[in-house]
Structure 1
Amino acid sequence: MNIVNDTTNTASTWGLYDQMRPQEIEAIQKKTPIAYLPWGAIEYHGSHNPTGLDSIKAFSLCKDLAEKNGGLVFPVISLAANLIKSYPGVNFPKHSIEFSEKLIRLACEEYLEQLVVQGFKIIVLLSGHAGEPHLTILKTVAEAFNSKYPDRRFWALAEFDILPDDLLVANHSAIGETSLQLYYAPETVDLETLPKDRSITLELDAVSGDDPRLATKALGEKIVKLFLRNASLIIEELKQKFL
């Protein structure tokens, strides 16, 4: 089980919710009632990346956040709207499982409501998919829950929201996402499938953003470290206010 013990080695500080027994969950939740909800997608990410990139990224970042700050990581939700298969001007109909915006909103509302019932005080919803309005829907629902439950905090974000633009911006299978994938799951990436004799484009390669052929594990590590630092500062502020 991927859990980390505190310095006294008597209790776990974080864990994977679906891989723990009730008494283990409650021991962590009593100390740190934080839920991490990774939100991903099954989506075509070109020939060089896996279809589950958004889910792998979101789940991995949530695990790292929980290890650093305590709390419980829920299974990734691979439901997304506004995928590349529906993007105007491109033709990638296969390898994406797309859902309606209405379903995304409803699923988010019901999931957050369940986390309230389960007693969590801070809910971090990390979306690996940045399609619009998919991402805005998640953020809007979170804000509505902040108003509905003022004694709790719901924080919905994408990883680039708290990073400088010169390090990472919203992209689709470009240098940023590909570098993160090289860091977390290098065995799933094959840069050799990308063309070597022309520019990379959205229309031909399903890439939006800077050239993924320049992606490196080292850049992915740099992105992760700064994300964890910035997110952890915010989580610490939320702990002081809501726990």
Structure 2
Amino acid sequence: MGILNVTPDSFSDGGRYTDVDAAIEHGMDLYRAGADIVDIGGESTRPGAARVDAATEVSRVVPVISGLAAAGVPMSIDTTRAAVASAALAAGASVINDVSGGLADPAMAGVARDAGCPWILMHWRGHSRDMAQLAVYRDVVAEVCTELLARVENATAGGVDPGQIILDPGLGFAKTAEHNWALSRRLDVLVDLGFPVLFGASLKTYLGRLLAGPDGTPRPVDRRADATLATSVLAVAAGAWGVRVHDVAATVDALAVWRATGSPRLAKP
């Protein structure tokens, strides 16, 4: 899954693709590089980000989705709002990527049900401005699994077919670096819940902290690509259905090497 943020304030590429033509061209580049799906987002969900209204979000994503749909590019819409998801699906998107797992907008279940499209439910405890204080767990792996299964139960109660559902552990969303590493280490537990799993670590802050310099300064965003590649290969080896990344070409190459080895799924610890 290739990431295309059409926002002015996303942590890695904010402002680079606010122009519709530039965004469409980048989406085409991601697709040509091997992305199976391009994930379009019109509202930043980085820690501390301010919210935008639904109309602004729609105005950002729909022209880009329409342009890419005309070129045959498969797309997901990265949104927590049912109205935005509906507009995006009408414009040509075919997957809903909901970082709130349906919690932010109860109407999202009805949109997914009626569309019959895949719905990615990410683990989430609150919006960007609040999520840091919500990163409190006794057992992060067990609690994330329990809370995700509650979201699945809610979705299916709303008429969503379980076969539509994909899960995402939500790295960095109400998670500390230690929580992210624990979820990465035991991704097999989430995979064994029986739903496809999307893994998204691309360029995130916890990788920068891992690779901090001698003075403790985190590795900047533009120097986290190699670490991202490692997380993506390890996630697929652990059974992940997909990885959400900024650098599609390098990820495709790395996964081709992994597949060529014929390596099995990683053994459980």
Specify which structure has the bigger relative contact order, considering alpha-carbon pairs within 8 angstroms and separated by 6 or more residues.
1
TM-score (norm 2): 0.34
